[in-house]
Amino acid sequence: MIPDFKGKTAVLTGAGSGFGLECARIGARLGMQLVLVDVQQDALDQAAAEMQAAGCQVLARRVDVSKAAEMEQLAAAVRERFGAPHFVFNNAGVGAGGLVWENTLADWDWVLGVNLMGVVHGVRLFTPMMVEAAQRDPAYQGHIVNTASMAGLLTAPNMGIYNVSKHAVVALTETLYQDLRLVTDQVSASVLCPYFVPTGISQSHRNRPGELPAARPTRSQLIGQAMSDKAVSSGKVSAAEVAQKVFDAIAADSFYVYSHPKALGNVRTRMEAIVDGRNPPDPFQERPDIGVALRQALREG
């Protein structure tokens, strides 16, 4: 448990928008030292200027979290400037959809590179620094938060590539939590599983790297993009509210962080089917109209 965030160092990937930016804003209000990381330079510059104007010590770095070398350089810079961080928010993420067999190899490399390997790099580079700091200082407390999604607990159709990446993050983070429990009581972990929240993720193709170009979108991908745009833009829970839940979870050492607890009914149904050995349930049982519309749109193609 970290009772006081003041003066602590936080590393936040995806800090230029969405949950990362809102967590940075909370960190600034709490008097934290902030390491802001994003792949979009203009958004990063704007976030850094805002946090510096609030009186924070800021280290801002443009980093593609999928690149091991760039993340290694980031970790070295953080150690040199602030030492071991107290809070690491592996939050950077991108979205993609469509029928799972229609995703290109470039799609898989991009989505898994950011959503999964970005988290892997954050875990492998910062966790040893934090454990080492805990061994040196009995008063040190650290916490790692990885952003997954409700898509890491469910398997909605027409968004398989995203589901795969987020299920992997949930598994990684649950294992990280258990591994940390073996070696220290001073460093813990949480996984953030938001549902539809208005952020920039539905437009994440704006930052897709040139070496992993998108193919001409298929019908299912266009349908998936339109549904994602509508769902994300109509979300009633704000990114700022979710960011506050993250800080509350750190303070309480609470592992699962949900933006929409009511969606857990679908998770329960899926888990019960797994335990009972039944086939996967209808993901649209609470909103059959969506399932009907999606099936009709895909079969008319």
Q: Is 162 among the catalytic positions?
A: yes
> Which tokens is 261 given?
């607890």
Phi, psi dihedral angles at 128 (to 5 degrees): -60, -35
Amino acid at 165: S
Phi, psi dihedral angles at 151 (to 5 degrees): -70, -10
Mark out the alpha helices in 83-184 (DSSP H runs).
105-112, 118-136, 160-183
Give the whole-angstrom CA distance, residue 202 versus residue 220: 15
Among the listed residues 162, 177, 195, 258, the single catalytic one is 162
Neighbours of 206 (CB within 10 A): 10
Q: Would you call 57 exposed, middle or buried from its count of C-beta atoms within 10 A (0-12, 13-18, 19+)?
A: middle
Q: Where in the chain does DSSP place strands (E)?
A: 9-13, 33-38, 58-62, 87-90, 142-147, 187-193, 256-258
Give the whole-angstrom CA distance, residue 189 versus residue 175: 10
Helix (H, G, I), strand (E, B) or coil at 204: helix
Active site residues: 162
